[in-house]
């Protein structure tokens, strides 16, 4: 490795800014990388786009989806970051719909985690997702857009297929020391 390629501890890395003219191409590239199952690359590109175009809704949605693609692999902050992005989307329908996506994907992550009690967590996440989808459907009744209904049905089918149930209530008295 040459001295030019080695980074010493004193070197401060500063991210290079994206040009405004490159935003559309970068968003397309982020979408492409996400679909190729490279969510970290898509996330990075979206962060660059949002630095120069903070109101870019498509980049925000791709970033949100990229974060949800990393559930179970990345930090526990991914869920709160994704929900934060959903809450900042401009349209109420989008805020509700993508909050549903975050909850649905958290349910899927819980379901496949193999952790004790994860099936109860999955049930709760799926129910919350379904509530968001119902609300999204109510505020955005466009005949050609049944996306919230399709997602709601998917959550319902998963709950049925995996026989997911609510967490049992522990009615035993708490013992004090």
* φ and ψ at residue 121, rounded to 5 degrees: -60, -45
CB 137 within 8 A of CB 150: no
Instruction: Report the percent of the chain where pLDDT is more than 70.
Output: 93
155: tokens are 């959550």
- Segments forming the whole domain that contains residue 46: 20-89
Helix (H) or strand (E) holding 163: none
Q: What is the pLDDT of residues 70-126, one digit of tens each?
A: 999 866 789 999 999 999 999 999 999 999 999 999 999 999 999 999 999 999 999
Same domain, residue pair 85 and 24: yes
Give start and end residues of each alpha helix (H) in 53-117: 57-69, 77-88, 92-113
Asked if residue 172 is part of any domain, the answer here is: no
Same domain, residue pair 67 and 108: no
CB 74 within 8 A of CB 109: no
Same domain, residue pair 155 and 106: yes
Distance CA 74, CA 104 (A): 17
């Amino acid at each position: 490795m040459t001295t030019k390629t080695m980074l010493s501890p004193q070197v401060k890395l500063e991210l290079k800014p994206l040009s405004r003219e490159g935003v559309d191409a970068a968003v397309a590239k982020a979408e492409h990388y996400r679909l190729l199952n490279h969510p970290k690359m898509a996330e990075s590109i979206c962060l660059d786009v949002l630095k120069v175009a903070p109101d870019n809704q498509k980049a925000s949605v791709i970033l949100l989806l990229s974060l949800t693609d990393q559930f179970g692999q990345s930090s526990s902050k991914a869920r709160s970051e994704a929900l934060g992005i959903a809450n900042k989307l401009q349209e109420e329908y989008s805020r509700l719909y993508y909050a549903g996506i975050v909850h649905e994907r958290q349910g899927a992550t819980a379901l496949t985690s193999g952790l004790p009690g994860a099936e109860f967590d999955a049930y709760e996440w799926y129910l919350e997702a379904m509530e968001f989808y119902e609300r999204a459907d109510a505020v955005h009744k466009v005949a050609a857009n049944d996306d919230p209904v399709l997602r709601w049905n998917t959550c319902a089918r998963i709950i049925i297929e995996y026989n997911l149930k609510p967490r049992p209530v522990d009615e035993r008295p708490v013992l004090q020391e």
